[in-house]
Amino acid sequence: MDDKKIMFSAVQPSGIPTIGNYVGAIKNWVDFQDEFNCIFSIADLHTLTVKQEPSELRARSLELLALYIACGLDPEKCILFVQSHVHEHAELTWILNTITYPGELSRMTQFKDKSARHAENVNMGLMDYPVLMASDILLYNAHLVPVGADQKQHLEIARDLAIRFNNRYSPTFVVPEPYIPKVGAKVMSLSDPTKKMSKSDDNLNGFISMNDDTDTIIRKFKRAVTDSDNKIVYDVENKAGISNLMTIYSLFTGLSLESIENEFSDKGYGDFKLKVGEAVASGLKPITDKKNDLLKNKDYLIKVMADGREKASRIAMRTLKKVYRKVGLVLPE
């Protein structure tokens, strides 16, 4: 590692990312590769808080890796690895658990929400999720973590644990800072523009998956919720649906919101929805094509995972050894 700041991010392979994940996160990561030392993880351990079909989880992990590369993440420029391949994540979680208080975890908004949604499976992993997330980040002494608004609370726990450990045992961890993109951080649902677009939405028309084909994309945009006045004007408070579509169109075309208003000043919602759908479909097609090609070359993906594991393990082990010494564990010779 050189003197660039370290950026870490992880995404669960619990479903195919949406265009919201793409424009709000993955697309930005491509630019970050030259500015930061980037470490990106496929967070498969985190998915286990909800029951998974094993074969599907393995397939989704490979698919997410292929998607990362298809979107422009370069294994030669950044570290790409699968979380479960680096055992230090689980080991550091145990150490951090010993300085984490139950009340902190039970108050977490996501724990409350997920407990309500999965009442039949409220497990300790669901509560301990933020500590594993803290381990993910602190192992690599990450300076910056790209987070959406819904993850800020988890990053605060990581910061608190870093500070608590440093105060108790002497400076060890970098205290990470959030990196929140100013544009494109929040793409809303097509069916309910007051809610963030989510790959776990029960309404399939609410999100555009990175796997959706052109016909599906255009059909979903045609069904997108707008309002009754038919004016294409950016006004989040009064015209949430059309404002969301304008944001998406802006992100996929590079046009400003003002330019979009001017371009469609004499057009109706039907014309605009079609144009948004076509822009998104055009932007996703080369990514989808490349991802499908990569999935046909499993040997290459396995090599990328192995190389990523080796690079990540080297950094993680160095950090974990330091932690073990600080807490008084005897290190093996």
Predicted pLDDT of residue 328 = 97
Sorted by sequence, the CB contacts under 8 Å of residue 160 that are 6+ apart come out as 104
Residue with tokens 């090609």: 293
CA end-to-end distance (rounded Å), the chain: 26
Which tokens in the block code for residue 181?
A: 């993109």
Active-site residue among 27, 196, 220, 291?
196
User: Hey, what domains does the chain have and what are their CATH numbers?
Assistant: 6-185+298-327 (3.40.50.620), 204-292 (1.10.240.10)
Residue 273 falls in the annotated catalytic set: no
Predicted pLDDT of residue 333 = 75
Residue 114 falls in the annotated catalytic set: yes
56 or 229: which leads in pLDDT: 56
Note the maximum CA span of the chain.
Answer: 75
pTM to 2 decimal places: 0.89
Residue 199 falls in the annotated catalytic set: yes
Whole-number Cα distances in Å, 161 to 100, 137, 226, 263, 311: 7, 11, 44, 50, 25
Using the predicted structure, report yes or no on whether residue 191 has a pLDDT greater than 70: yes
Using the predicted structure, report yes or no on whether residue 115 has a pLDDT greater than 70: no
Element of type H or E holding 179: strand 177-179
Using the predicted structure, report yes or no on whether residue 311 has a pLDDT greater than 70: yes
180 or 229: which leads in pLDDT: 229
Tell me the average pLDDT of the chain. 91
Active-site residue among 5, 77, 199, 326?
199
Q: Of the ranges 11-15, 86-90, 275-279, 320-324, which one carries the lowest mean pLDDT score? A: 11-15
Active-site residue among 27, 114, 239, 311?
114
CB-count exposure of residue 300 (10 Å: 0-12, 13-18, 19+): middle
